Amino acid sequence: MPLTDAKCRSAQPGPRLQKLTDGGGLQLWLQPTGARLWRLAYRFDGKQKLLALGVYPTVPLARARQAREDAKRILADGLDPALEKKRQAQARANAPTFRHIAAEYVAKLRREKRSEATMAKVEWLLGFANAEFGDEPIRQIAAPAILKVLQSLEARERFDSARRLRSTIGSVFRYAIATARAEIDPTYALRGALTQVKATPRAAITDARKFGALLRAIDAFDGQPSTRIALQLLALLFPRPGELRLAEWTEFDLERAVWSIPASRMKMRRPHQMPLSRQAVELLGALRAISRGNFLFAGVRSPSRPISDGTLNAALRRLGYAKDEATGHGFRATASSLLNESGKWHPDAIERQLAHVEGNSVRAAYARGEHWDERVSMMQCWADYLDELKIPASRTVVAAVVK
């Protein structure tokens, strides 16, 4: 008579092993210790054999019956279910895990000389994935498992991190596909599954008179002299704050008035040269006299480490500018807006100075020039224009980027 869940639960152990039969060779062995073990009796190659199917109630009756049917199909194919189970277990043990492939992917990024900030971010993100399914064979990881870890970040309102994690996990899967250890990228199925949060542009002052007030406030900054100079250079050169914060003296040729930023520190992984205005060279000379170590802007505690990524924004707050009024990155938007509005400079020259990469592949093929001579003139005119913006509002302020 077939078993029921009630009978499986209520059966009491005795002094000897009891075998409760469900039919088709499926048995529940009730040990004297109280353990309940699923066994499947079958014949293969003329011999009586036994297959372990797990422990009740961890493996419920329905799953045990399904395992019995799976074993019958294996027998119908002329294979031994017990040997096939061992083969599958061995295959799982030898299968590359997500953690293993992710470590290879991280090593690949390091060989490509990605910045330490990028590597730290990638490894931090992969920590969430490894905690959830790092030890699973990569071929067995499906979209729902990935969505679970992404939604755990969204539940903490870390929407951008969830989006970046999806992209990073996808990169690991595509690396696995390229190395013949996976067939599909399950993150593709998650497009549109995450919460879409409208990006908030970084705050920037694009009104010339208001920007002049900010420049005057920076010149009067009473904090660390190096921090004041960093803010002044942000205004003059408008690099990405991280490019300036991590700048080293070996990158500067003050005689030629050129700052050469290596590809490893650029967002698009392309080396970038920046012409220096007379004002920028003077500031760098003053900074050189007070700097310590290789970094232009060394931290207070150790000259071997740069200032933190929050230092410049904190200085703007100290000057009285809220985070929705001005940010370190906002100097780029200010320069882009005012230079473009002047109408004097070619848009490509402005884009090259901002180290933007042309997204249109056809246009990029015809825009490989760096517009160097024009950029040299533009940066000197920009510096002169900032000097004029610093004139108090009671005096005439030039309204264009050139006299």
Do 167 and 237 fall within a single domain?
A: no
Do 160 and 298 fall within a single domain?
A: no
Do 233 and 360 fall within a single domain?
A: yes
Domain assignment present for residue 315? The answer is yes
Q: Each residue of 263-297: pLDDT tens digit?
A: 877 776 678 899 999 999 999 999 999 888 899 98
Instruction: Examine the fold and report which residue of 190, 224, 251 is the final residue of a domain before the chain moves on.
Output: 190
Told to judge if 85 belongs to the known catalytic residues of this protein, a careful annotator would answer: no
For residue 204, how many other CB atoms are within 10 A of its CB? 18
Do 384 and 272 fall within a single domain?
A: yes
pLDDT of res. 201: 65
Residue 354, domain extent: 208-389
Which residue ranges in the chain fall short of pLDDT 70? 91-94, 197-201, 268-269, 357-369, 393-403
Told to judge if 191 belongs to the known catalytic residues of this protein, a careful annotator would answer: no
Domain assignment present for residue 394? The answer is no
Domain assignment present for residue 358? The answer is yes
Do 87 and 113 fall within a single domain?
A: no
Residue 346: CA atoms inside 13 Å, Cβ hemisphere, count?
A: 13
CA 256 to chain centre: 37
Do 125 and 224 fall within a single domain?
A: no
Told to judge if 100 belongs to the known catalytic residues of this protein, a careful annotator would answer: no
Do 141 and 125 fall within a single domain?
A: yes
Do 230 and 343 fall within a single domain?
A: yes
* CB within 8 Å of 376: residues ≥ 6 apart: 275
Q: Give the separation between CA 208 and CA 214, rounded to whole angstroms.
A: 10
Q: How many domains does the chain have?
A: 3
Told to judge if 366 belongs to the known catalytic residues of this protein, a careful annotator would answer: yes
Of the residues 65, 240, 272, 352, only one is catalytic, namely: 240
Q: Each residue of 363-388: pLDDT tens digit?
A: 343 344 578 899 999 999 999 999 99
Of the residues 174, 267, 317, 390, only one is catalytic, namely: 267
CATH number of the domain that residue 164 is part of: 1.10.150.130
For 179-241, the DSSP string reads TTS-S--GGGGGTTTS---PPPPPP----HHHHHHHHHHHHT--S-HHHHHHHHHHHHH---H
Do 142 and 183 fall within a single domain?
A: yes
pLDDT of res. 357: 61
